[in-house]
Amino acid sequence: MKLSMVGTGYVGLTTGALFADRGNQVTCVDTNSDLVKQLCEGNIHIFEPGLENIVQRNVSNGNLNFTTDIGSAVRDSNVIFLAVGTPSNGDGSFSLEYLKQAAKDIGKELNGTTDFKVVVGKSTVPQGTSETVLKIINEEVEDAVNWAYVSNPETLAEGTAVKDFEKPSRIIIGTDSDEAFLVMKELYHPFNIQQDRIMRGSPADAELAKLFSNAALATRIAMVNEFARIADTVPGADMDTVRKMVCEDPRIGYQFMFPSPGYGGSCFPKDVQGLVARAKQEGYEPLLLNNVHRSNELHKHYLGEKVSQLLTMDRPKVGVWGVTFKPNTDDMREAASIPIITGLINRGVEVIVYDPQDNKARDIFGDRVEFAKEKYEAVEDTDALILLTEWKEFDSPDFNKLREKMNGNQLFDLRNRWLPQAANRVGFSYHGVGRNYSLGNSR
């Protein structure tokens, strides 16, 4: 099948590359000519495990192409994906500027085509956007054009996107057109052979399902972190023990129920705020969701304050392991590290950072922090170590080596990854999220 992908960001590039890898002819469109040139050479602009090899393989075999010419891409395709960015406005609402322009451009280029075309909304959008896209395209196309619209939200997680695409938990297809549904079913067939994961509804159903999923996961994260803050006020409480007791309840489960510095990235913050903003525009104020993001952001500042209060020495020096919003990505958008490290710097703390993917962090922090080349370099002569991102290489630290290199003995495990007893045994004072295991408490 011939496909075009309008937008080569995280979603567009991953989707285009994985469809090309199954034998489809895919053309990705972007207005940035420098980026297109880079992609034509097989060099991708994001870090996602396994993706660059797939892009390079399919560029080499001719299945994957990149261009700035939206006209030829649309006219030559059976299915046209809208995968442009929908960033947040200042009030938290979705900005649909790029989406509307892309829809208008697609509508113009559909004129003169004679074969059936399917236009697919892949970008995450606020509820009701399908009606907007349909209206824009219909204003541009002539009556003779045979086309239909599908909402097909992405279900990818950064760091596991290739696996998520190849083995999806569900494939959501929102359309009122039976013909378009059959086209999409054929397109996704290679990913649907073992088990039928396709779920059909209206475009509005698909939009809401995507927003509901992200809002539900964000709510779980905010809730477990709020309970961790409560646990901090209760002598003898350990949030790790509490969550295990609770998550064994089959009605609750373990997914996204782990204390952390809070959620970040491009999806949860944007989608929760955008969902709430659009609901308010329609006259409804979601009481629960209205405070989910606020709770999450307060948690980041709460942890920063907690660290600062325990750094009582003059001009403390702190090492930080991990700054990306999650492991296996270079994404710094809404990362908890930004407010936490910024707060420390503003209090006069010297910060040295190590992260396996720190390029974007260097752009954000500049010379306000020092960047180390490996993890133990980041703790030389420091008073404390903070674990912010749970990269695998941080899972089993040599506590004796840390003790030798550090001046102080404060460990802030903001992912609750380490055994408090193992750290305290060699003289560290361990502090987790909602865990009361500081030096002298080895229960």
Report, as residue numbers or ranges, the catalytic residues. Answer: 267
- Does residue 110 contact residue 148 with C-beta atoms inside 8 Å? no
CB 354 within 8 A of CB 319: yes
The answer to whether the beta carbons of residues 127 and 207 sit under 8 Å apart is yes
* Tally of CB atoms within 10 A around 302: 20
CA–CA gap between residue 400 and residue 337 (Å, rounded): 26
